Amino acid sequence: MLPAMQNGRELMENFVVFEGIDGTGTTTQLNRLSRRLEGTGIAYNASCEPSPGPVGLLIRQALSGAFVARPETVARLFAADRGEHLYGPDGIVARTGQGQLAISDRYFFSSLAYQGLTCGQELPELLNAPFPLPELLLFFELDPEVAERRMANRPALDIYENLGFQRRVAEAYRTIVDSFEGSSMTIARINASATPDEVEAAVWDAVSPLVRRISRR
């Protein structure tokens, strides 16, 4: 499915990505990791996709159902937003180039999973082929039924946050992440059904070698 996409991809050192279906707790764990990093003394930046920039805000409006956009349009918007997230002023490339640790809640793997289902694989693969691999991918694994129960108290759900679609996304994610096994990127599979403290410990185990390396420089 995706191994050919890895050919020619560069690896971005000091770049960490959280991925998983909706409701796996990536945002919670990104906040917890940020608090831990504050005590290390290293420079870091935590961000997310869609970004808070103009293109990201447009994506969030589309996902909320505020307006109807073709799936292909959404795929292109995600790629445009990702380009700004990476290469814009104070973006991930600039920060990692300065020796900072950059952590993102979602990256191109999300587009391959979500937009790969909504508009077919070809366009998301083409749009995201130029983007580099992160040094570390943390893949949060959780049963979609459990994720749905976690999202039950949210004030509003986006157009993707329904059980039927999330089941398909979970399967797509597994296939995509499996296809990157053996690449230069390190993959840590996180059991997101564990307690928040246990998940935090697993995240720290995966990220701490990067922290130690950066702190020695």
Q: What is the DSSP letter of 68?
A: -
Q: What is the DSSP letter of 4?
A: G
Phi first, then psi, for residue 216 (nearest 5°) are: -85, -15
- Taking residues 154-159, what's their average pLDDT? 75
Which of 41, 204, 48 lies closest to 136, judged by CA? 204
- Taking residues 161-169, what's their average pLDDT? 90
Task: Return the pLDDT at 25.
Answer: 95
Q: Hey, what domains does the chain have and what are their CATH numbers?
A: 17-216 (3.40.50.300)
Say if CB 131 and CB 82 are below 8 A apart: yes
Checking if the pLDDT of 34 tops 60, the result is yes
Structure tokens at 135: 């040094």
Task: Return the pLDDT at 110.
Answer: 97
Checking if the pLDDT of 11 tops 80, the result is yes
Mean pLDDT of the chain: 93
Give the pTM.
0.92
Query: pLDDT band at 2, cuts 50/70/90?
Result: very low
What does the pLDDT look like over 67-104, one tens digit per residue?
999 999 999 999 999 999 999 999 999 999 999 999 99
What is the residue whose two structure tokens read 């918007």?
A: 77
- Sign of the dihedral through C-alpha 5, 18, 135, 53: positive
Checking if the pLDDT of 50 tops 90, the result is yes
